[in-house]
């Protein structure tokens, strides 16, 4: 019985990851189409601000969907301090 439970949990994890990838791709592919239309219509500064805001919201929505599964937990508290920075590259350092 324990083996069956672990097998079902592993299957659930794979399904959640696949759904997460599909949500991520859907959000950002749809934004690419919208951005393609808006680019010639908006000034550079306004377009950049709208683009960054949408990408931030889309990324948080994607992580929120993964959190709803109960298998993922994310802590955004450290990112709040970086909100007013101009441009950043955040990279993991795995050793």
In tens, the pLDDT along 34-91 reads 999 999 999 999 999 898 889 888 888 888 888 888 888 888 787 777 777 777 777 7
Q: Among residues 54, 59, 75, which one has the least CA distance to residue 24?
A: 59
Whether 66 and 20 have beta carbons less than 8 Å apart is answered as yes
**For residues 46 and 50, what is the distance between their CA atoms, to the nearest angstrom?**
6
Q: Among residues 54, 51, 74, which one has the least CA distance to residue 64?
A: 74
Model confidence at 1: pLDDT above 70? yes
Run of H or E including 13: helix 2-38
pLDDT of residue 71: 84
pTM higher than 0.75, yes or no? no
Of residues 25 and 76, the one with the higher pLDDT is 25
């Amino acid at each position: 019985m324990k083996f069956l439970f672990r097998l079902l949990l592993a299957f659930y994890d794979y399904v959640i990851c696949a759904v997460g990838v599909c949500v991520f791709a859907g959000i950002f592919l749809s934004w690419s189409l919208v951005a393609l239309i808006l680019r010639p219509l908006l000034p550079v500064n306004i377009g950049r601000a709208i683009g960054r805001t949408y990408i931030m919201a889309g990324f948080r929505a994607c992580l929120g969907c993964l959190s709803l599964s109960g298998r993922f937990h994310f802590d955004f508290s450290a990112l709040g301090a970086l909100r007013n920075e101009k441009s950043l590259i955040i990279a993991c350092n795995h050793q």
